[in-house]
Amino acid sequence: MKRAAVLLLIALSGFTAAEETRPEPAKAPDASLIKKRLPQATKTPWLGLQIGPLPEALRAHVPALPPGFGFLVSSVDPDGPAEKAGIQAYDILWKFDDQWITNGEQMLALLRLRNVEDEVKLGIYREGKELSLPVKLEKIPDEKLLAKLAQEATRNQQRSPDVPMKEVSTADGTAAIQAPEGKVVMNVSRGVAEVKITSVSGSVIFEGPVTDAQGVSQVPQEWRPHVGALQRALTQTPRLPRARSLPPVAEKEVTKE
């Protein structure tokens, strides 16, 4: 009987351990975040492709590609505008009409300036050859739009304002955060912190001191978490120790015999 009780205890202990190590289910995306992005996302034409960083090994095979430009087409949506135009996965995308593409935010900003059914020319490199393919922009299907917004909302929930795409330089007192909704750049000079906030399309949302003479924040409410993160980054980033100057070693007098 005692042995059976021990075996039962071991079995229950194993069950408890398994329960403790079971990963928590993923949180459902915040519906308010999706609702906030829905109006703008609905207006943005659909291109139907995903881009990613261009590996240097591939860039080396395209010497004509300007340095700092170009992305790898990681996937193409079936029956989307890009696929209909002949864009393929692993093409190197570097041009939107006459604009050279430097980052994904620029690409999105250019798309937002267009309308559904507009035709644009995408400049690509495929197998070392330069091509220019006309693409007719379309309206994104509802199911794809909702899936995309849900994915973005989930990523934003899992990422705190202190983590995303932050660049800090204590040497010149600057810091920046690139967020999905725009960019914040902070500069601290003589103890005064100033910020410039721009949207993904490049328009200036706010520019000036973080606080007024009374110490009250002047930054728009929705941007204050990012600004606070930059202030903490600039004040908490460890600095290199100052070099110490040691006194010169006294030379010993040499006695001549």
Per-residue pLDDT reduced to its tens digit, 158-186 = 544 444 555 555 456 788 888 888 899 98
Would the pLDDT of 121 be above 80? yes
What does the pLDDT read at residue 90?
Answer: 94
Contacts of 174 (CB under 8 A, 6+ apart): 168, 185, 186, 187, 188
What does the pLDDT read at residue 188?
Answer: 84
Whole-prediction pTM: 0.47
Would the pLDDT of 57 be above 80? yes
When pLDDT is cut at 50, 70 and 90, the band that residue 94 belongs to is very high
What does the pLDDT read at residue 44?
Answer: 80
For the segment 103-131, the average pLDDT, to the nearest whole number, is 89
**145 in Cβ contact with 47 (< 8 Å):** no
What does the pLDDT read at residue 173?
Answer: 73
What does the pLDDT read at residue 34?
Answer: 47
When pLDDT is cut at 50, 70 and 90, the band that residue 46 belongs to is confident
When pLDDT is cut at 50, 70 and 90, the band that residue 231 belongs to is confident
What does the pLDDT read at residue 24?
Answer: 47
Contacts of 87 (CB under 8 A, 6+ apart): 49, 73, 76, 93, 122, 124, 133, 135
d(CA 184, CA 197): 5
Q: What is the mean pLDDT of the chain?
A: 74
Of the two residues 167 and 104, the one the predictor is more confident about is 104
Minimum mean pLDDT range among 107-116, 126-135, 159-168, 202-211: 159-168
When pLDDT is cut at 50, 70 and 90, the band that residue 105 belongs to is confident
Contacts of 16 (CB under 8 A, 6+ apart): none
Of the two residues 126 and 40, the one the predictor is more confident about is 126
Retrieve residue 67's tokens: 């340095």
What does the pLDDT read at residue 248?
Answer: 54
Of the two residues 57 and 38, the one the predictor is more confident about is 57
